[in-house]
Structure 1
Amino acid sequence: MSGSRSSNLKYQVYRSTALTMAKEFILDNPSDLLAEGIEPARIRFEPITQEALNQSYLWISEAQLYPWEDVPSWKKRDTRHFDLALWYDHELCGLCYATPRASTLTIKIVLLEGKPDGTHPLKGQVAGLALINVTRYGRMLGLSEIEIQDPDPGAIDWYKELGFELDDEQRLVISIVEA
């Protein structure tokens, strides 16, 4: 097996393991979700597939700011990427794309979006659930922090509620240990 294929397989296993570990975590710690009327067993963490992209295209968004259609090509070029489609039963509720690129310290959440429909079952939980997944993946890579790349100014307070802080360089970050 060539070096790049071996490396790609390694990161594919890491991504799959992170999804499994995140699912186990929410099943082992269901109280916060249950308090919101969410059944953790109905949540699915999966890679972003064409099916997920097709469902995301049906989301009604005023600006369509998120280039989800670019994710398949990004995934091909970036073997260390992490992608997440967040489902509740058969409803797509959120998408996340993160990458450490060449960093040995930081994984950046490049895109994170919840379904704009305010009635979806994971409303208010998408960022937290994505963070659980990205944290597990970042730990496997030996990284120390998660950064929100170019956060929407209106979302900064929401990220701060999740534990993110602005550092000296005005990057919105959280320690992987704290996440």
Structure 2
Amino acid sequence: MSYDPDIRAAGINVSALRLDPITMAAINSCHLWEEVIPYPWECIPEWKRKDARGLDLAIWYEEELCGLCYATPRESTICIKIVLLQGHTRNTHPLRGWIAPIALRATEFYARMLGCDEIEVQEPDPGAISYYQKLGFIFDKTNRLVFSLDDQ
């Protein structure tokens, strides 16, 4: 990420970027966002207890929570699913436009460690589908929105 010319061109100080597990502090921070969309972030601690392979990311810029992501392969050895992904609802947060790419890179790295072949967005928001497609996701033959790791 630190060598990504696009992120540097956007003026993002990569040393201020932090990826942490989703903690109660992160959950409390996202509940302070304006226009909170009711994603079940408070369920993450329980999901993590039940799913040791789940990936939970709190994406911070300095001390500001900018996004959250939860992905899991569940029992699969082929696919990891992005179950929840949300950026800060304020249009001017410092990582605006970068939450999905950052979450995708982290999920891709983790998926490769697990030996998965693809990343799927579980039940994508219809308004976000074209954005996911710009990031390289396509609908497969079974109408799942997937990102193939074989081509990368």
TM-score normalised to structure 1 length: 0.82
Residues 74-153 of structure 1: matches in 2 within 5 Å?
Answer: 74-153=47-126
Number of aligned positions between the proteins: 152
Q: Which residue does 1:37 correspond to in 2? A: 11
- After the TM superposition, which segments of 4 or more aligned residues of structure 1 sit over 4 Å from their partners? none
SS at match of 1:107: strand
More helix by share: 1
1:157 paired to 2:126: no
SS at match of 1:109: strand
- How far residue 157 of structure 1 moved from its aligned partner, in angstroms, is 0.1
Distance 1:32 1:140 in 2: 25
CA offsets 1:41-81 (integer angstroms, 9 cap, x no match): 1100111111111101101225x331101111000000110
RMSD: 1.1
Q: Which residue does 1:57 correspond to in 2? A: 31
Q: Which residue does 1:21 correspond to in 2? A: none
Instruction: List runs of 5+ in structure 1 lacking aligned partners.
Output: 1-25
Percent identity, please: 51
Instruction: List runs of 5+ in structure 2 lacking aligned partners.
Output: none
CA offsets 1:120-142 (integer angstroms, 9 cap, x no match): 00000000000010011001100
Distance 1:60 1:176 in 2: 35
